[in-house]
Amino acid sequence: MGLPLSNGGPRPDRPTGAERGDPVILGTGPSSVDGSPDARETLRMQTPDEAREIYEVIVRLMERFPAASREEVVSVVAAEHEALTGNPIRDFVPVLVEKQAKRRLKLVHAQ
């Protein structure tokens, strides 16, 4: 079973959207960035692996920048992910998202 992608996490008695082949949307629960359709759309992942890796990026950045709110970290990650929309090679997207999000968060939360 993978990492939970929302507050409720995956339910063992039902396949997740990713297991059914549906697009994976990260951060659409009650504590998503701002609940707007635009925020949800920017977090649409191409594959379950990409969703897991972006989730792990968010967790690492929240640990590295404890002064940043979850919403701020998710928002920055979403913006960086959106900037790479349409990139046909998805393997390096999480690495690029993390690098740029870290750079942006350092500007605000110097450590």
pLDDT digits (tens, 9 = 90+) for 53-97: 999 999 999 999 999 999 999 999 999 999 998 888 888 999 999
40 with 60: CB under 8 angstroms? no
What pLDDT was estimated at residue 107? 94
Q: Which of 11-15, 18-22, 52-56, 69-73 has the lowest mean pLDDT?
A: 11-15
* pLDDT for 27: 53
Phi–psi pair at 96, nearest 5 degrees: -65, -40
pLDDT at 63: 96
Contacts of 41 (CB under 8 A, 6+ apart): none
Mean pLDDT over 22-33 rounds to 46
Mean pLDDT of the chain: 73
Residue 93, phi then psi, degrees to nearest 5:
-55, -50
C-alpha neighbours within 13 Å on the C-beta side of residue 16: 21
